[in-house]
Structure 1
Amino acid sequence: MMKQQKQQTWLSTLLLLACAGAWLSLVHAEEEEEAASMTLNEVVELVEPFGQGCDPKPERGDIEEMVLNKEDASHESKCFRRCMLQQFEVMPEGKTEFNEWKTLDMMNMMFSDKQSDSKLIVNKCNRAGSGQSDECEVAHSISMCMLSEMRDAGYKIPDVKE
């Protein structure tokens, strides 16, 4: 039961990853070691079901690239990220920025002590996709910006073991 709760926590974290482009930690200090020890394979298996309705349907390598936040990800990987963002209404179809309210709500739920930082990050990174019309590229640009800004602001972002 405890392992399932920790996996749910990781899944929530991963969903925000797709939404914010970062590995965020919902875990308390005693859970950090467990979260940081998840393997790439475990995380991919948690995320794969979300790719079923995506177009194009992601291959395993595309999912791995997204999970690992590869800067030079394939277009298919970027589209999988966009698909997840759409599923969770963070980046509605046809939009070239994240829904500020939804993104902040998710970030503040996990990082209540960083609310002012979160707002600045979302506002700054929403501009990262300006001038681009490809929703997959926009989703990736904003996500990579948020990952970088969150790391710089001291958010605890665990890595996935390959």
Structure 2
Amino acid sequence: MMQINRMTTMRNLLLVTLACAAVLIGSAAADEEEISMTVDEVVELIEPFGDGCTPKPTRENIVEMVLNKEDAKHESKCFRQCMLEQFELMPEGQMQFNEDKTVEMINMMFPDREDEGRRIIKTCNEKMAGQTDKCEAAHGISMCMLREMRSAGFKIPEIKE
């Protein structure tokens, strides 16, 4: 049971980072029973990732990112970018997601949706082409991916406030 919880926590963390692009929280345990998390639980889980970020995110910034606020503060967008960089989904100095690494992560969560995932990443990277602010690029691509994935029927539960 402890191994399932550890795997579920890691999977949730990966989803958060992706969404991931837009904080895609939601996972299934071995028996495919849906597990949901509260905002506070997710914030507690990802708060340590802010220690190495500049600017260092406040709790408010983390909550905005977790709730996928479209109109998030710039600091919240920068925290998302910092997490994406830490997971090598948006490499340092880049204004787009690394397509192969992002597809690999999507495949961990949705193994039968690789082609759709790749299409979504390409579409969202292209939509933000020309953006010169890395925080805005990370946030814009993440929000685009979240909308596109939901529209394509990916099962992405909402976070409970």
Whether the TM-score (by the shorter chain) exceeds 0.5 is yes
Counterpart for residue 151 of structure 1: 150
C-alpha change, 1:10 and 1:22, in structure 2 (3 Å) is: closer
- Distance in 2 of aligned mates of 1:155 and 1:138: 23
Counterpart for residue 31 of structure 1: 33
- Distance in 2 of aligned mates of 1:22 and 1:120: 19
- Distance in 2 of aligned mates of 1:113 and 1:26: 15
Q: Is the 8 A contact 1:25 1:110 kept in 2?
A: no
C-alpha change, 1:53 and 1:93, in structure 2 (3 Å) is: same
- Distance in 2 of aligned mates of 1:127 and 1:25: 27
Q: Is the 8 A contact 2:23 2:66 kept in 1?
A: no
- TM-score, normalization: structure 1? 0.90
C-alpha change, 1:137 and 1:144, in structure 2 (3 Å) is: same
- Distance in 2 of aligned mates of 1:126 and 1:88: 17
- Distance in 2 of aligned mates of 1:8 and 1:89: 16
Worse-matched range after superposition: 102-111 or 50-59: 102-111
Q: SS in structure 2 opposite 1:158? A: coil
* Partner AA of 1:65 in structure 2: E
Structure 2 alignment gaps of length 5 or more: none
- Number of equivalences: 158
Q: Is the 8 A contact 2:81 2:139 kept in 1?
A: yes
Counterpart for residue 142 of structure 1: 141
Counterpart for residue 108 of structure 1: 107
Identity fraction in percent:
56
Structure 1 alignment gaps of length 5 or more: none
- Distance in 2 of aligned mates of 1:39 and 1:24: 10
C-alpha change, 1:9 and 1:94, in structure 2 (3 Å) is: closer
Deviation at 1:22, TM superposition (A): 4.3
- TM-score, normalization: structure 2? 0.91
